[in-house]
Amino acid sequence: MEARRRSSTKPVQSLKPTKTVSVDEDLTKASDALPLPLHLSNAVFFTLFFSAVYFLLSHWREKIRTSTPLSVVTYSEIIAILAFVASFIYLLGFFGIDFVQSLILRPQTEVWNSEDDDEVADVLLRKEDARKVPCGQALDCSLPPLPPPAPIVTVQKVLDEKPVTVLTEEDEEIIKSVVAGTTPSYSLESKLGDCKRAAAIRREALQRLTGKSLEGLPLDGFDYESILGQCCEMPVGYVQIPVGIAGPLLINGREYSVPMATTEGCLVASTNRGCKAIHLSGGATSTLLRDGMTRAPVVRFGTAKRAADLKLYLEDPDNFDTLAVVFNRSSRFGRLQGIKCAIAGKNLYLRFTCTTGDAMGMNMVSKGVQNVLDFLQTDFPDMDVMGISGNFCSDKKPAAVNWIEGRGKSVVCEAIIKGDIVRKVLKTTVESLVELNMLKNLTGSAMAGALGGFNAHASNIVTAVYIATGQDPAQNVESSHCITMMEAVNDGQDLHISVTMPSIEVGTVGGGTQLASQSACLNLLGVKGASKESAGANSRMLATVVAGAVLAGELSLMSALAAGQLVKSHMKYNRSNKDVSKASS
Ligand code: ADP
């Protein structure tokens, strides 16, 4: 019974018809029925046909000349007529066979054609992509030489070869009860005690309820236990995002291969080019300015005076030690650094800042804040806690407080890019970069009333690295705050570039960082999990890498813009190669 209830796995081939086509197998032709090889039979009958025709015509001409009636037929003429008829029938049949074969083969050739087209397109793309410079030097990265043609061509997707979950009869009953509403979908994990099976049942129920197929959203190949109660509720599968590598990125004398999860063509290639320019120029220097996660509850009093009393109390250095002891009880890693208050009438916003070790720290800081609020209730019993977060924190929203005060890790990263590297690798000049930076990232953003957006595309790099390494991608809002500065140095020969990012919110423990794929990406960077040397060292290093990758991205995109390459490279790498209408159909 127990065995029956468990989800079983078996190869998908047995479940779905697949279009596997082998060169060796396939295609019995009508001509295979002939005793001789086709070309030999053809030669024999063609010869026979024309010989018979020639023989008969010459004989008949002779008869006409000698006035012999044509009806008088000799023995040799009878043989010639028979040979003519036989070869005529064969030749008629031959063209018939060819016609029939072309009909039989048409469906298969269409399958091949689609593959061949792709292969041809691939070859063309590879040829077009072939470069004379090493990868990273220009946007168009060279590809390895073409592999020899595979002996077997298959239309089947690699994904289909994975085992798939097969639902049992008992699963079918549960699906029906979920569809009927008698079993809540959210309760499947706790009821079944098998997260994978719960996801499979929920998925099937969802498809039936909505009438929409989830084909393409994989279910198998994911550890659903690892997300339970921590990362995602009511899972029905997982979305695949490709991970590309930019680098090596040389920061503070150390090389990093930067994983970027993205579906935006050009992004990794562009960042890679920036990494190359930085590397050839001796690397970048990334400096951590501060490290502190914030949480700001909103509390309300009967009068503004009472709110002001609490503000003064909290900001009095004499009270800080007591409050820090209370706050720090919540965690081994959370250490209170300060409290900044803002008043709005009777309402007070208390912005707590604390270190959080290697965790991004939102949970940690919230627990500490709750401890302090409970403690304050003794001296301020008239204080109403309206919300543990009053948006003065400020989490996942653009806010000047983060831009000015910082949140998470504040980092400045700089590099001097040599003039000849700017010309050879980035295909532009120091002068044009400096001018464009002033016009676009500084003046243009000022004209747009930007808040922390004095950069070309920091959020592109931040988000791709965040997704790859299990950060909260919603925090890209403030984490992407960045001002990019460029200046000509060394008598105008070289370029000084810097990115200043006051609120990079990253962790290497907790949240999505512990999931297998994300953890592998952190491992690649050498910052997986809790630092063994000192708490927080891994997450701080990750923040410096994020800033370094942003520096590379800024350098490359600004260069592409300065050189007028942007549209060209996007046409090449992004959407131009695919027929979108076909893809959607
Ligand atoms: P967050 O606060 O970022 O939401 P969590 O609270 O989910 O993260 O994860 C942090 C957890 O990891 C805490 O329970 C903490 O005690 C534990 N932990 C273990 N090692 C470390 C470390 N080096 N730095 C921070 N937290 C750590």
441 and 314 share one domain: no
In sequence order, the β-bridge partners of residue 526 are none
- 133-137 contacts, C-beta under 8 A, 24 or more apart: 134/276, 135/272, 135/276, 136/272, 136/273, 136/275, 136/276, 136/425, 137/273, 137/276, 137/424, 137/425
* Cβ of 510 below 6 Å from ligand 1: yes
Q: Look at residue 523 in the predicted model and tell me its pLDDT.
A: 98
Domain that holds residue 277: 244-290+409-574
324 and 344 share one domain: yes
Residue 449: both structure tokens together: 């009333």
Q: Which three-class secondary structure string do you get for 337-384?
A: EEEEEEEECCEEEEEEEEECCCECCHHHHHHHHHHHHHHHHHHCCCCE
Secondary structure letter of residue 154 according to DSSP: B
Q: Is residue 87 part of a domain?
A: yes
Residue type, 536: G
Q: Is residue 80 part of a domain?
A: yes
Total Cβ atoms within 10 A of residue 65: 8
Residue whose CA lies nearest to ligand 1 atom number 6: 363
444 and 540 share one domain: yes
Q: Look at residue 90 in the predicted model and tell me its pLDDT.
A: 78
Residue whose CA lies nearest to ligand 1 atom number 23: 530
423 and 501 share one domain: yes
d(CA 149, CA 35): 33
Residue whose CA lies nearest to ligand 1 atom number 11: 510
Q: Look at residue 14 in the predicted model and tell me its pLDDT.
A: 33
d(CA 136, CA 247): 8
81 and 208 share one domain: no
Can you tell me whether residue 292 is helix, strand or coil?
A: strand
Q: Look at residue 34 in the predicted model and tell me its pLDDT.
A: 56
* Cβ of 551 below 6 Å from ligand 1: no
Q: Residue 519 Cα, ligand 1 centroid: separation in angstroms? A: 15
* Cβ of 406 below 6 Å from ligand 1: no
Active site residue 568: no
Q: Residue 89 Cα, ligand 1 centroid: separation in angstroms? A: 87
The total domain count for the chain is: 4
421 and 509 share one domain: yes
Q: Is residue 21 part of a domain?
A: no
pLDDT in tens, the chain (585 residues): 333 334 333 333 333 333 333 333 333 444 455 556 666 777 787 788 888 888 888 888 888 888 787 777 888 888 888 888 888 887 777 655 555 554 544 433 333 333 333 333 333 333 333 333 333 333 443 344 444 544 444 344 444 455 567 889 999 999 999 999 999 999 999 999 999 999 999 999 999 999 999 999 999 999 999 999 999 999 999 999 999 999 999 999 999 999 999 999 999 999 999 999 999 999 999 999 999 999 999 999 999 999 999 999 999 999 999 999 999 999 999 999 999 999 999 999 999 999 999 999 999 999 999 999 999 999 999 999 999 999 999 999 999 999 999 999 999 999 999 999 999 999 999 999 999 999 999 999 999 999 999 999 999 999 999 999 999 999 999 999 999 999 999 999 999 999 999 999 999 999 999 999 999 999 999 999 999 999 999 999 999 999 999 999 999 999 999 998 766 666 667 655 565 555 443
Give the CATH number of the domain where residue 213 resides: 1.10.3270.10
531 and 435 share one domain: yes
Active site residue 264: yes
d(CA 309, CA 299): 13
335 and 283 share one domain: no
Buried b / exposed e along 375-387 (16+ C-beta atoms within 10 A): bbeeebeebebee
d(CA 159, CA 204): 19
286 and 308 share one domain: no
263 and 328 share one domain: no
d(CA 476, CA 468): 13
Residue type, 161: E
Q: Look at residue 2 in the predicted model and tell me its pLDDT.
A: 39
Q: Which of 34, 61, 93 is the last residue of a domain?
A: 93
Give the CATH number of the domain where residue 330 resides: 3.30.70.420
d(CA 59, CA 72): 11
Is the separation of the CB atoms in 370 and 388 below 8 Å? Answer: yes
Q: Look at residue 26 in the predicted model and tell me its pLDDT.
A: 39
Q: Is residue 30 part of a domain?
A: no
Best residue for ligand 1 mutational test, from 331, 364, 471 (most atoms within 8 Å of Cβ): 364
* Cβ of 293 below 6 Å from ligand 1: no
Q: Which of 331, 360, 392 is the last residue of a domain?
A: 392
Q: Which of 61, 93, 125 is the last residue of a domain?
A: 93
**How, if at all, do strands 453-454 and 347-355 pair?**
unpaired
Q: Is residue 4 part of a domain?
A: no
Q: Is residue 18 part of a domain?
A: no
Q: Is residue 115 part of a domain?
A: no
Q: Is residue 254 part of a domain?
A: yes
Is the separation of the CB atoms in 478 and 396 below 8 Å? Answer: yes
305 and 415 share one domain: no
* Cβ of 535 below 6 Å from ligand 1: yes
Q: Look at residue 71 in the predicted model and tell me its pLDDT.
A: 78
256 and 224 share one domain: no
Active site residue 472: yes
d(CA 575, CA 316): 59
* Cβ of 502 below 6 Å from ligand 1: no
Q: Look at residue 458 in the predicted model and tell me its pLDDT.
A: 98
Give the CATH number of the domain where residue 422 resides: 3.90.770.10
